Structure 1
Amino acid sequence: MADAKAAVAEDADIEEGAEAAPEGAKKKFALPSMKVLMIGGAALVVLLAAGGGYYFISHKHEAAKVEASTVKPAVFVDLPEVLVNLSNSGSERTQYLKIKIVLELPDQPMVAQITPIMPRVMDAFQTYLRELRPSDLDGSAGLYRLKEELTRRVNASIAPNRINAVLFKEIVVQ
């Protein structure tokens, strides 16, 4: 009976060994293939990143070339000189604003479109400039706000057309 139990134990060890050997072989076989897959995946990611970078850089240069070739020179229109007295609080002396303005237009045909509307533009300038106080024009921030507000008023006057900017040739507060 001891021999039978020993034989059964040996059979069980052989079966466990047989099962363990293929699993061990699978692990040995799976481990190198997993490394190969990871290395291959990393190489694929690097290649895709390099290819994507090249694609975006090359198209960026092409877009810059197309944009550079399609840039039109700006058109400038001088407006008559404007002289207005600034708003004051009564006790101060009267101060005047003398300003020369140039409109920057996107293209030449727009000059013919806004010329008939120029009295409306000048009226918008006059009414706004008379509301200003001398303190409104202090510093570069004041001039920037003035430029933005004049651009907005011109665009409202000539709608649906639009200008690019209002440019100052001369500003004197006296």
Structure 2
Amino acid sequence: MVDETEDEALDADQEEDGESKKKKKLSGKFLVLFVLLPLLVIGGGAGGAYFAGVFDAPEPTEEEIAAKAAEVNKKVVFYDLPEMLVNLNSGNSSSSFLKLGVSLELADEASIPDLELLIPRIIDNFQVYLRELRKEDLNGSQGVFRLKEELLMRINSSAAPVKVNDVLFKEMLVQ
């Protein structure tokens, strides 16, 4: 009798193991069919829509671009510095000169009176820097770009409360 109960218990355990294996197989199929497949479809659709440009903002019209440009240009003010003529560092007895005409781009007209008070300091700062340049430093567009960036950095440090947005070359002659 005891043996029969143990056999029945073993049969019941084996049946439960069989059912759990079926459940595991069913749950794996369920996971693939009802969870992963829809995620892949949704992800693929979203990726395709992104690359097709569905989520991109519409491009601005010509009128909007012109209005923004007019708004920016309305605020910008230019201030011309006096022309400068400096002796470049040549390292030998021959002399080279740089004639430079510069215009400064300011954010608004309210900063012009403050800038005019600082013009002697700005010109002095420019002169000291420009006298140490060599003719080779100004070769090509890279040399001119470095000069422009250096002058912008120096003017913003010497005219501290006033913010200069850009340094524009009106004239630049190296002889």
Q: Partners in 2 of 1:9 and 1:156 — Cα distance? A: 94
CA distance in 1, matches of 2:6, 2:173: 111
The secondary structure found in structure 2 opposite 1:80 is coil
Alignment partners' CA distance in 2, 1:132 and 1:24: 83
TM-score (ref. length: structure 1): 0.70
Q: Indicate the residue corresponding to 2:168 in structure 1.
A: 167
Instruction: Return the alpha-carbon distance in structure 1 between the equivalents of residues 81 and 20 of structure 2.
Output: 90
Q: Which ranges of structure 2 fall in alignment gaps of 5 or more residues?
A: none
CA apart distance, 1:167:
1.2
Structure 1 distance, partners of 2:56, 2:116, is: 44
Matched residue, 2:143 = 142
User: What whole-Å deviation, never above 9, does each CA across 1:87-117 have from its counterpart, x for those lacking one?
Assistant: 233422x222111111111223222321221
Pick the structure with greater CA Rg.
Answer: 1
Across the aligned residues of Structure 1 and Structure 2, the Cα RMSD in angstroms comes to: 3.8
Per the alignment, residue 79 of structure 1 pairs with 81
Q: Which amino acid aligns with 1:98?
A: K
- What does residue 91 of structure 1 align with? 93
User: In structure 2, what is the equivalent of residue 32 of structure 1?
Assistant: 29
Structure 2 counterparts to residues 1-174 of structure 1, below 5 A: 11=8, 14-15=11-12, 18-35=15-32, 36-43=34-41, 45=43, 57-58=56-57, 69=68, 72-73=72-73, 74-92=76-94, 94-174=95-175
Q: In 2, distance between residues paired with 1:97 and 1:165? A: 20
Q: How far did residue 44 of structure 1 move?
A: 5.5
Taking only the aligned residue pairs, the percentage that are identical comes to 36
Q: 1:32 to 1:77 in 2, by over 3 A?
A: same
Return the alpha-carbon distance in structure 1 between the equivalents of residues 122 and 85 of structure 2: 15
Aligned residues: 164
